[in-house]
Amino acid sequence: MTTVGFVLKGYPRLSETFIAQEILALEQRGLEIQIISLRHPTDAHLHPIHDEISAPVNYLPEYLHDEPVRVARAWWGARHLPGYKKAAKLWRRDLARDFTRNRVRRFGQACVLATELPRNIRLLHAHFLHTPASVARYASIMLDLPWSCSAHAKDIYTSPEWELREKLADCQWLVTCTATNVAYLSKLAPSENIVSLVYHGLDVDRFGSPDGRTHHPDGSSPLHPVTILSVGRAVEKKGFDGLLRALAQLPDNLHWRFVHIGGGELTDKLMTLSRTLGIEANIDWRGAQPQDQVLLAYREAHVFVLNSRIADDGDRDGLPNVLMEAQSQQLACVATNVSAIPELIIDGDTGILVPPDNPEILCQAITKVIEDPILRQSLGNAGEQRVRKSFALDACINDLSNRFDIAGG
């Protein structure tokens, strides 16, 4: 069977469990995978799933000046590959339109990838349409190999249209995780059969049904506060500043605590904001956590909130896996109607949707589900049923298995 090289921006990453669960499931179907990572890991913890993955990992030079001998050797060797001149010409054209160090780094990493790639790898598959796809594309041209891609969110909406058009014209096929993404990318693709919808899906075996929630506080007692949970990196598109402002507006007679799980560059600013808003004592900042601890937090919480928004640079969520995970644990979810979130949550039926960047309306929605435990149970149960019926991982892996020709291997 042909081995597929998965080109990832970084591996392993706590925030990319959807990629890890895909790799493990494909391995279990029989696909041989080599992981090519553009960056070394930075997270202090690993998810249990990472220990189950057997694919070897080749780390490319994260910065070219860190490994000058390796890069120079790779460039010299790449010059003798059949498609080097074509790849170099393409890269120079890209560099003229995007004159950045990152663009130079992509080509250098592609040279290393092309010269170090085992001969049994006959397909490169990039996760994310920006940097990983660039490296995979340049290397595939040098080696005269096909390449494919899984596109997600930030990689799509922060990339210029000229680059998306050209990558879509070059790749063998592309899957993306939301109908919203499909509609956007299909307009840029040379033919309608290039882009397909494949939801990541949830590994329902790993996220088994909870035993059942027996305690349903309504926020009226200080002895039994309602636990509000949110999981996500502290970055602009997650809208945690707006969520804190919404929490600060909750009625004084409601008793609640907020748990945040996730790392991120804005954590310190958010902590400062919580102090300014006078809600610091209600908040438990837990930082990045492994998956077993996240699962425990889902089961201990009463409400899940994700205040996604479109960042100033266009970055946005696709279909956040944390929403599927939370719903699998019968958590009532309050989220914004951004991007593909309405593809998962049916407003008023399987969760509550609110407009982004509106702390007042978000506060009203959170207040509603805190004060009405019966509504919480109804939303939680309906959300779990929808996730397990329509967003299970098997459909995703069946599609990818056919594309990687696992059955035919």
Please tell me whether residue 303 adopts helix, strand or coil conformation.
Answer: strand
What integer pLDDT is reported at residue 169 of this predicted model? 97
β-bridge partners, 256: 226
The predicted-structure confidence for 329-385, as pLDDT tens digits, reads as follows: 999 999 999 989 999 999 999 999 999 999 999 999 999 999 999 999 999 999 999
| Per-residue b or e along 314-329, where b marks 16 or more CB atoms closer than 10 Å to that residue's CB | ebbbbbbbbbbbbbbb
Distance CA 99, CA 143 (A): 25
Which among 28, 50, 1 has a CA at the least distance from the CA of 404?
A: 1
Question: Within 13 Å and on the Cβ side, how many CA atoms surround 257?
Answer: 16
What integer pLDDT is reported at residue 353 of this predicted model? 98
Distance CA 261, CA 291 (A): 11
* CA 274 to chain centroid: 26
What integer pLDDT is reported at residue 1 of this predicted model? 57
| Per-residue b or e along 100-136, where b marks 16 or more CB atoms closer than 10 Å to that residue's CB | eeebebbbbbbbbbbbebeeebebbbbbbbbbbbbbb
What integer pLDDT is reported at residue 209 of this predicted model? 84
Tell me the two tokens of residue 339: 């991007």
Cβ contact 142:78 at 8 Å: yes
| Per-residue b or e along 148-176, where b marks 16 or more CB atoms closer than 10 Å to that residue's CB | bbbbbbbbbbebeeebbebbbebbeebbb
State the CB neighbour count (10 A cutoff) for residue 259. 17
Give the H/E segment covering residue 184.
helix 179-186
> What sign does the CA torsion over 158, 161, 164, 168 have?
positive
What the chain holds in terms of domains, given with CATH numbers, is: 3-201+392-403 (3.40.50.2000), 226-390 (3.40.50.2000)
What integer pLDDT is reported at residue 407 of this predicted model? 56
Tell me the two tokens of residue 282: 């209600």
> What φ, ψ does residue 195 adopt, rounded to 5°?
-105, 130
What are the CA-CA distances from residue 18 to residues 177, 203, 252, 345, 373 (Å)? 11, 9, 39, 19, 31
Report, as ranges of residue numbers, the positions in the chain whose pLDDT lies below 50: 408-409
What integer pLDDT is reported at residue 235 of this predicted model? 96
Which among 75, 29, 70, 20 has a CA at the least distance from the CA of 49?
A: 20
Distance CA 358, CA 373 (A): 24
What integer pLDDT is reported at residue 405 of this predicted model? 87
